[in-house]
Chain A
Amino acid sequence: MGRSLSDLFVFVGKRLLQLIPVLLGVIVLTFIVSHLDLSASTLCHEWYFHAGANTLSNCEAKYGLPLPTQFWNYLTSLVHGNWGAAVSGASVGAEIDVRLPATIELVLASLFLMIVIGIPLGVVAAQYSGRFGDHIVRVFYLSGWATPTYLGAVLVAIFVGPWLGLPTSGEYSTVIVPFPQYTHMSVVDAILALNFPYTVDAIDHLILPASVLAFINMGIATRMTRASMLEVLPLDYVRSARMKGLGEFWVLYKHALRNALITTTTVLGLTAGGLLAGTVVIEEVFDWPGIGQYAYTVIGGGGSSPNFDGAIAVVVIFAIAVVVANLAADILYGLLDPRVDWR
């Protein structure tokens, strides 16, 4: 059995290598889609319209090249960490540097809620399978499932936020934050600055968007936990645990859930796509300065000006995030299930 530390490195390394072709495919696909029906003249006309004549020749020089050359140029600049620029000249990379951490914070917060609320709910549903408790839990997670993100976000922002007295906009109550933003995660930065009032403020701002995001995606965690628990509960080792004299709580949460989690983890990794897609609308509604809001803008939500490089960057980053989350789930699976050989 290969389960030593060095085997783990091999395990992770192998999966990282498997990512490369997928990522390359993602970039190619995004590039093709975005260049599909845009000729240099129409694009540069738009460009000209927004940025003035002095950049028109630059634009035509760049987008007039044959597609493979353009792709190569794009890829090489991407490898050097250059994501391109908006029409206004604003660097896409700079936006991403600031916005990505904010989104990661939001997604992790809602993932946390999904785990601490969604998984126990799944256990309860499995425990009372087919009975009242099960029905209640299912209605709960199916309501989240059936709520379009924007609807949930809008309703919470308009009605629930004021009712609970929680802020529904931005990361902090003030625009000027009196401490440096090292990580660009609101709560983490406030903690790093040892600023307690701001920490509370930042958490207050995080609660509503994270809860909406969690509520809407809760079904995935709960359903999977319920399904895995239903699979595990009739197994012999659960019976042995019961026969040891353990109380039902320990039987469920120590013995059964530990095994049910192995599959739930994989699925939680796969939810990354849903969570990220959710941020597009949620960040817009709650004015959360993350990459989702940026995506909303660059893709043209609310009739904003086009940002060609920004749109490609956002799609690629979202795809990378999904792939990385899947990788994380894969590794976690390997750690959780002692039967997985890391070699």
Chain B
Amino acid sequence: MAQPSAAPTRRASGRIAVFWRVLRANRLSLAGFVLVVIIGATALVVLAAPHLLVPYGPLEESSARNAAPSWSHLFGTDNLGRDIYSNVMLALPLDLGIGFAIAGASLLIGGLLGLIAGFYNTPGTILGYTSVAILRVTDIFLSFPSLILALALTRVLGLGVGPSVLAITITWWPFYVRLVRGEVLSVKHLPYVNAARAAGVSENRILLRHVVRNVLEPVIVYFTLDVGTVLVTYSTIGYIGVASIYPGPQPEWGAMLAFYQQTGSANIYPWLVLAPGAAIFITVFAFSLLGDGLRDILDPRTRRAFVRASAAHEPPAEAPSAAAAPAMDERESDATGAIAATEARSAG
């Protein structure tokens, strides 16, 4: 009596369909999605046609000094009359771009290595040894709190946006290795993949046609959430003062906040720190709202609860859940471990 059309497999449901199902079921995530779209659109407008949203230049000094927020200066001005709102707006495309650049580069590097480590783990072969080596190096990298390692790296690589982005990327990719490897292991031996194998499909073709396709969805979901996390880490490095110079032609939120806090006027003129602070908070919060809901389908444990709740199938009492076995099997616990590992570094 079950409806076959609603079979709750990840493969059967299209990615976009899943995406919408999650958003529909989870109003918080929907709010996050709307926010992310608004933020992204704003960033594009600032890039393409700054005069629409940015009334003053980043270093333009007006006569109103230390002015409180008003209609002419939405977030007030600093001690030289620079418009805080304009600086916050001008920083948006940079911060957002940095978030996407670091997370994207990490996804490419870590994803590729994770695929190798997860798929070609036959002991004794060259690729098998490579896999082991990848995992060991990953373990070592994961032992550093990424912020600390990134900070240390900026000492070596130098100051500025470019080196900081590179430094964070160097510390960031291992998370994707863990994530992708866990996901690969969890799909590698699914019945239909085994069936394809039995039917004589070559390993490389299985990797491309089945494994990559299935791994892509959770990885992209994770990527969404990660952009926010990267932003927090980058702005922390900006705050410590090794990434960006403020005031300057290209403002950055972390550096802005650090500048106004360290020049000591934040107590009297709170908008100086509240404005860039709120900008970071809202941006990251939007990505987190979106990603947190989406992650319910990423995490094997909530994924089950989610599938149970959202898919129309037999009444639960009549259909004892096969997934209820208390001991997680190895593949699944691997995926959980990966999630846990990636989860644990969110703070910056």
Give chain A's interface residues, CB within 8 Å of chain B.
21-22, 25-26, 29-30, 33-34, 36-38, 129-130, 135, 138-139, 142-143, 145-151, 154-155, 158-159, 216-217, 219-220, 223-224, 226-228, 230-231, 234-237, 259, 263, 266-267, 270-271, 273-278, 280-281, 295-296, 299-303, 306, 311, 314-315, 318-319, 322-323, 339
Q: Are A130 and B25 in contact (CB under 8 A)?
A: yes
A119 to B152, CA, bound (A): 34
- Nearest chain-B residue to A231 (Cβ)? B301
Q: Are A231 and B305 in contact (CB under 8 A)?
A: yes
A146 to B232, CA, bound (A): 7
Which residues from chain A contact B13 at a C-beta distance below 8 Å?
none
Which residues from chain B contact A130 at a C-beta distance below 8 Å?
25-26, 309
- Whether B340 sits at the interface, judged by CB under 8 Å, is yes
Q: Are B284 and A227 in contact (CB under 8 A)?
A: no
Chain B count of residues within 8 A CB distance of the other chain:
69
Which residues from chain A contact B25 at a C-beta distance below 8 Å?
130
Q: Are B281 and A224 in contact (CB under 8 A)?
A: no
Which residues from chain B contact A223 at a C-beta distance below 8 Å?
292, 343
Which residues from chain B contact A323 at a C-beta distance below 8 Å?
143
| Across the A-B interface, the 3 shortest Cβ-Cβ residue pairs | A270-B344, A274-B347, A25-B140
Q: Of A36, A142, A216, A231, which contacts B156 at CB under 8 A?
A: A36
Which residues from chain B contact A216 at a C-beta distance below 8 Å?
347
Q: Of B153, B254, B309, which contacts A148 at CB under 8 A?
A: B254
- B158 CB → nearest A CB, Å: 9
Q: Are A263 and B324 in contact (CB under 8 A)?
A: no
Which residues from chain B contact A226 at a C-beta distance below 8 Å?
302
Q: Are A151 and B144 in contact (CB under 8 A)?
A: no
17 further contact pairs, Cβ within 8 A, besides A154-B257, A263-B301, A270-B340: A25-B137, A34-B156, A135-B28, A143-B281, A143-B285, A146-B232, A148-B254, A149-B236, A151-B257, A158-B273, A234-B324, A266-B340, A267-B344, A270-B341, A274-B345, A281-B239, A318-B144
Q: Are B266 and A148 in contact (CB under 8 A)?
A: no
Q: Of B147, B152, B302, B304, which contacts A30 at CB under 8 A?
A: B152
Task: Tell whether A296 pairs with B240 under 8 Å between CB atoms, given A135-B27, A315-B144, A318-B144.
Answer: yes
Q: Of A143, A148, A318, which contacts B232 at CB under 8 A?
A: A148
Interface residues of B in 218-232 (CB under 8 A from A): 228, 232
Q: Are B143 and A26 in contact (CB under 8 A)?
A: yes
Task: Tell whether A148 pairs with B140 under 8 Å between CB atoms, given A234-B324, A267-B340, A274-B345.
Answer: no
Q: Are A154 and B155 in contact (CB under 8 A)?
A: no
Most-contacted residue by chain B among A139, A154, A159, A281 (CB, 10 A) = A154
A38 to B309, CA, bound (A): 58
A129 to B241, CA, bound (A): 42
A270 to B149, CA, bound (A): 16
Q: Are A220 and B143 in contact (CB under 8 A)?
A: no
- Whether B326 sits at the interface, judged by CB under 8 Å, is yes
- Whether B81 sits at the interface, judged by CB under 8 Å, is no
- Nearest chain-B residue to A30 (Cβ)? B152
A-B contact pairs, 20 of them (CB 8 A): A29-B141, A148-B280, A158-B266, A219-B346, A220-B344, A224-B340, A226-B302, A227-B302, A228-B301, A230-B301, A271-B347, A275-B347, A280-B148, A299-B152, A301-B151, A301-B241, A301-B242, A319-B143, A322-B144, A323-B143
